[in-house]
Structure 1
Amino acid sequence: MEETRGRGRPRKDPERLARWTPPEGWSRLVAWISPEEKKALKRVAVDAEVSVADLVRALAGGLAAGAITHEELIGHVRKGLQVMEKIPTLFERDGDFRVVDRPRPECAWVFDGEGAPTEKLDGTNVRLTVRGGHLVRVEKRRNPTKLQKKQGITDGWYVDTAEGAAEDKWILAAARNTDVTAWPDGEHSCEALGPRIQGNPLELDDHRCVPFNMEVPVYQDVPRSYTGLRDFLTGLDSRFAPGTLAEGIVFHHPDGRRAKIKRKDFPRSA
């Protein structure tokens, strides 16, 4: 016989919904995280006997009160950023996580003059499937977990978005706001951009998807030295949002390798 669950503890006032009103001046923090990152946070929260929200607040509170030092937190953040990096940065980084004039060995091909430089778009990687000028499928990129990387799985893959899923809302908005009537039939890898995606660094007014195989222009005469790239990015205008500085450059090798450099990677005093 199936066991019936109890109703739980009754509310003191059953006619009133449980609702917490934040103090005046408080703000809400929202961040998109992967399923693996969510599980990791939950594990720590369970051990600490708090909710994930209280875990984040405890971190912020400890930092504000000086119980957690700035240096301690920055050290852990840098380790996390290195794990998250999907495309290698051209140069090694210093203790302040800024690039130094020391090329990374795996990016040597860039300094040998190989690869095509394109504008780095800071959005979400998606794949749109088109048939007869109509959008028939929208997928998002899934990257291997730390465990999968240890198993030798290094390349990401695409999974379907879900109608009504909060985490897919703005991806779907970008896809539907993209004119695909002239696109050839097939699957097109794109970058989803817009006001509610990745902080909207290009300050776009609408959501849209940019297909890498059709709309991402190749820059000509891009320097390939530390100082040359630093100076070049200082005034590089975005092709997708004229009047706004481009985030950076991604070099694409014919064999599929990529390497990147962003304007904010360089020291501010450089």
Structure 2
Amino acid sequence: MAEAKKRGRPRKDPTTLARWTPPEGWSRLVAWLSPEEKKALKRVAVEADVPVADLVRALAGGLASGVITHEELIGHVAKGKLVMEKIPTLFERDDRFQVVDRPRAECAWVFDGAGVGTEKLDGTNVRLTVRSGHLVRVEKRRNPGKAQKQQGILDGWYVDTDEGSAEDKWILAAARNTDVAQWPDGEHACEALGPRIQGNPLALDDHLCLPFNFQAPTVPDVPRSYQGLRDFLSTMESKFSPGHLAEGIVFHHPDGRRAKIKRKDFPKIAAGA
């Protein structure tokens, strides 16, 4: 008979909830939202792939540090990272922000069998410029603000990182810890990963940058149906960090178009289903 698993360390007071202690000087902001406002904010957080609290904190941080003006507030996203143009999710979402079996029209090429799949890595998008095997520039992505969108500027762009910015500290650490000696000259879009970036879901020991154009792990024979992708992603192990589940798949079309799907986009499978 197998030995019963021992219980973990008991809490000092099991009748009370565990509490997070904020840093000294921090304060809590509470706001009342209409159902429509809450839904809109949640949708932005889902697309940015962060909790709503982190989204709000990033917006406030951007204003406090002067990274954005009040006109640009709506364009600032996700844990201080500034991101590139949105990659569409393969399927439409329901009111709970989970995908349903209804493909998006702009992603029809995926279901037609075009393009190849690569593992989606959960980090921060950056761009490294390399010359003669040396890193000469580190940039992060920025989205257009509200005023710029009204002018027809819809796609994001890269801006320089700041050596003195706490927001950019771990991006720069990842860039400097990446061996670019054999990289071709040019600008390389990358995913910055590591212990202090996006919660480190792949449990990496070091910070580094992985270029999309020649090192993103390819995933052969990816299913292209709703149920097929749901089943596939429920057990897909990361090629970059074996032993951990991959976050999702990004499909790449030869003409540059992309589409994505994440494991957590799907409704959770009920026990016994």
Equivalent residue for 1:78?
Answer: 42
Q: Deviation above 4 Å: which 4+ runs of structure 1?
A: 71-74, 82-85
Matching residue's letter, 1:80:
V
- Residues 240 and 76 (structure 1 numbering): CA distance in 2 closer, same or farther, change over 3 Å? same
d(CA) in 2 for partners of 1:92 and 1:25? 36
TM-score by length of 1: 0.73
Contact 2:120–2:250 at 8 Å: present in 1 too?
yes
2:268 is paired with a residue of what secondary structure? coil
- Matched length: 216
Correspondence for 1:57 among 12, 18, 29: 29
1:189 aligns to 2:189 (yes or no): yes
Correspondence for 2:21 among 23, 27, 35: 27
d(CA) in 2 for partners of 1:263 and 1:140? 25
Contact 2:131–2:186 at 8 Å: present in 1 too?
yes
d(CA) in 2 for partners of 1:206 and 1:84? 24
CA deviation map 1:177-210 (0-9, x unaligned):
1011111121111110111111212121111000
Equivalent residue for 1:15?
Answer: none
1:242 aligns to 2:239 (yes or no): no
1:169 is paired with a residue of what secondary structure? helix
TM-aligned CA deviation for residue 82 of structure 1: 6.5
CA deviation map 1:24-59 (0-9, x unaligned):
954238xxxxxxxxxxxxxxxxxxxxxxx65x5324
Structure 1: which 5+ residue stretches go unaligned?
Answer: 1-23, 30-52, 63-67
1:57 is paired with a residue of what secondary structure? coil
Equivalent residue for 1:90?
Answer: 90
d(CA) in 1 for partners of 2:260 and 2:151? 26
d(CA) in 2 for partners of 1:83 and 1:224? 21
d(CA) in 1 for partners of 2:162 and 2:100? 42
1:255 aligns to 2:227 (yes or no): no
Matching residue's letter, 1:78:
K
d(CA) in 2 for partners of 1:119 and 1:83? 18
Matching residue's letter, 2:118:
T
Greater C-alpha radius of gyration: 1
Structure 2: which 5+ residue stretches go unaligned?
Answer: 1-17, 50-85
Equivalent residue for 2:67?
Answer: none
TM-aligned CA deviation for residue 147 of structure 1: 2.9
2:30 is paired with a residue of what secondary structure? helix
Matching residue's letter, 1:57:
L
Equivalent residue for 2:8?
Answer: none
TM-score by length of 2: 0.72
TM-aligned CA deviation for residue 265 of structure 1: 0.5
1:159 aligns to 2:159 (yes or no): yes
Equivalent residue for 1:119?
Answer: 119
TM-aligned CA deviation for residue 72 of structure 1: 7.0
Of all paired residues, the percent bearing the same amino acid is 70
1:216 is paired with a residue of what secondary structure? coil
d(CA) in 2 for partners of 1:233 and 1:145? 34
TM-aligned CA deviation for residue 234 of structure 1: 0.9
TM-aligned CA deviation for residue 146 of structure 1: 3.1
d(CA) in 2 for partners of 1:116 and 1:72? 37
TM-aligned CA deviation for residue 73 of structure 1: 7.4
2:29 is paired with a residue of what secondary structure? helix
User: Aligned Cα RMSD in Å?
Assistant: 2.5
Contact 2:217–2:240 at 8 Å: present in 1 too?
no
TM-aligned CA deviation for residue 93 of structure 1: 0.9
d(CA) in 1 for partners of 2:217 and 2:251? 12
- Residues 81 and 25 (structure 1 numbering): CA distance in 2 closer, same or farther, change over 3 Å? closer
d(CA) in 1 for partners of 2:170 and 2:241? 19
